[in-house]
Amino acid sequence: MLRLPLEAARRGAIALTIDDGPDPVVTPALLDTLDRYGARASFFCIGVRAARHRDLVREIARRGHSVENHTQHHSPWFSLHGLRRLRVEIEAAQDILGTLAGRAPRFFRAPAGLRSPLLDPVINRLGLRQVAWTRRGFDTVTSDPARVLGRLTRRLVAGDILLLHDGGGRIASNGRAVALEVLPALLEHIARRGWRCLSLPVACP
């Protein structure tokens, strides 16, 4: 899935997705910002990081966001794994994230969005839907919040799926994660247009 369904777009929905966490510094600050704007997001969490920060995963879910599957280890070689290794990576994350969040993830994103031809039978068996993105800020590449914000908002339309990171993102010149600097302006841009940030399970029931 590259975009939200047409019906969600007609309702003015935007999906904000946040990858590679949870992070004990960045994630709580993102959650506070989302709360201030009444926005909801989907956090694609890495299983081993979730296991290290269990209370944080529970807090993501408690605040009304969704916790989704981003594999157990986020291996850069994920797209080259055989069928058995793919199954182990995805099932392990599914188990830990479902236990901590109180519901099994419904959506899956491969590391760096790189697909394997063997992936579909694994995620189909678990009832997962694969999600990519319409636009990304490249906040793991650039330390300039203005450039990241521009990439996300330029030609932004309802139905888009946006990508930021709470794990592994770059740090801005003020010492804060780029995603933290970008998020308030991004949410204000979305609100001014009368759109709403929804989690993926709400936007795609």
Express each pLDDT in 107-134 by its tens digit.
999 998 888 889 999 999 999 999 999 9
Q: From 78, 92, 87, 80, select the one nearest 45 (Cα to Cα).
A: 92
How would you label 2-18 residue by residue, b for 16+ Cβ within 10 Å and e otherwise? ebbeeebbeeebbbbbb
Query: For position 39, what pLDDT does the model report?
Result: 98
| pLDDT value for 115 | 84
pLDDT for res 56: 98
Element (H, E) at 48: helix 47-52
Biggest alpha carbon–alpha carbon distance for the chain: 47
State the pTM of this model: 0.97
Mean pLDDT, the chain cut into blocks of 10 residues (205 residues total): 97 98 98 98 98 98 98 92 95 98 98 89 96 96 98 98 97 97 98 98 95
What's the pLDDT at 80?
A: 86
Q: Give me the half-sphere count of Cα atoms (radius 13 Å) on the Cβ side of residue 99.
A: 10
Contact between 9 and 158 under an 8 Å Cβ cutoff? The reply is yes
Displacement of CA 30 from its chain's centroid (Å) = 12
Give the whole-angstrom CA distance, residue 138 versus residue 129: 23
